[in-house]
Amino acid sequence: MTDHTPAELGRRLGSGLLSFPVTHFRPDDLSFDEDAYRENIARLGKYDVAGLFAAGGTGEFFSLSPAEVERAVAAAVESAPAGTPVIAPAGYGTATAVEYAKAAERAGADGLLLFPPYLTEAPQDGLAAHAEAVCRATGLGVIVYSRANAVYAPDTVARLAERCPNLIGFKDGVGDIDPLTRLYARTGDRLTYIGGLPTAETYAPPLLELGVTTYSSALFNFLPEFALSFYAAVRERRHADVRRMLDDFVLPYTRIRDRKQGYAVSIVKAGMTVTGHPAGPVRPPLTDLEPAELEQLAALIQGLDG
């Protein structure tokens, strides 16, 4: 755990690329391979990132038991470089999300990423009550993840920012420009804004103009140098370099990703295999890439070296 206050944590996270590591599973029984996970965190820790989100969406939070989540977060805290903030997940119903928040504190995390409640749709006042209950239950900095059945309206987020001092961030999983513009107009630099759509690199250039200074990079798992180079090009507004990297890799990559639902995670683990850092298969309900798709991904990655 770092010594950041929630406000300091928010500023730190907004200053650079964010790492969302996969969670390693053994091929034979899909059990959590903690040793391999720790080794991978240490490998990725050699690169400069603003924060590490353990057991997040790319880390298959939805398939992990609460005990596995706590183990993964604790392992990340112990294996990440000193000073690197580690963010833990919280989700499902409000009572369960509070339990995840307490587990994150036990594991030494610096902050929380609050995922949508499980299954049910909810009105804005219900979403606000859900997020506020989690914020009140912990001293950690909290980031709300707006996506799927929990799309937070700008007014809702603004009220939460007023009521919850430890609400530090808003992660966008929708990509709708209008509400993002309205949110930034309401809250400005009070929050850190994080791009959270699958393969967030495709949205990074336009969202930067709306104050979204960082994003979750799944590509960082298996192409860390490329991911950091792309992020630098976006932040420096080197549009020609961004366009070239989009054309050479990111957009062809998304065409493989879009072939099946859930491939946004599966293709990352496939990339780990291709680059010599296997992390095991995905857990159901996800499925791994087909052999032909794995070959196509391998060719795409090898083309970066050509």
User: Is 52:41 a contact under the CB 8 Å cutoff?
Assistant: yes
Q: Which of 37, 100, 145, 152 is catalytic?
A: 145
Give Cα 80 distance to the centre of its chain.
16
88, two tokens: 């833990």
Partner residues linked to 198 by β-bridges: none
Helix (H) or strand (E) holding 53: strand 51-53
Partner residues linked to 111 by β-bridges: 87, 141
Q: Which amino acid is at 178?
A: D
Q: Residue 170, Cβ neighbours under 10 Å: how many?
A: 26
Helix (H) or strand (E) holding 169: strand 167-172
Phi then psi dihedrals of residue 48, to 5 deg: -85, 110
Residue with tokens 């999300």: 97
Instruction: Give CA–CA dist 154/48, Å, rounded.
Output: 32
Phi then psi dihedrals of residue 117, to 5 deg: -60, 150
Q: Which of 100, 171, 184, 231 is catalytic?
A: 171
Helix (H) or strand (E) holding 245: helix 239-245
Determine the 3-state secondary structure of 214 from DSSP.
Answer: strand
Cα atoms found within 13 Å of the Cα of residue 147, Cβ hemisphere only = 19
158, 160, 162, 164: CA torsion to nearest 10? -150
Q: Is there a catalytic annotation at residue 260? A: no
Q: Is there a catalytic annotation at residue 152? A: no
Per-residue 3-state assignment (H helix, E strand, C coil) for 184-213: HHHHHHHCEEEECCCCHHHCHHHHHCCCCC
Which residues are designated catalytic? Answer: 145, 171
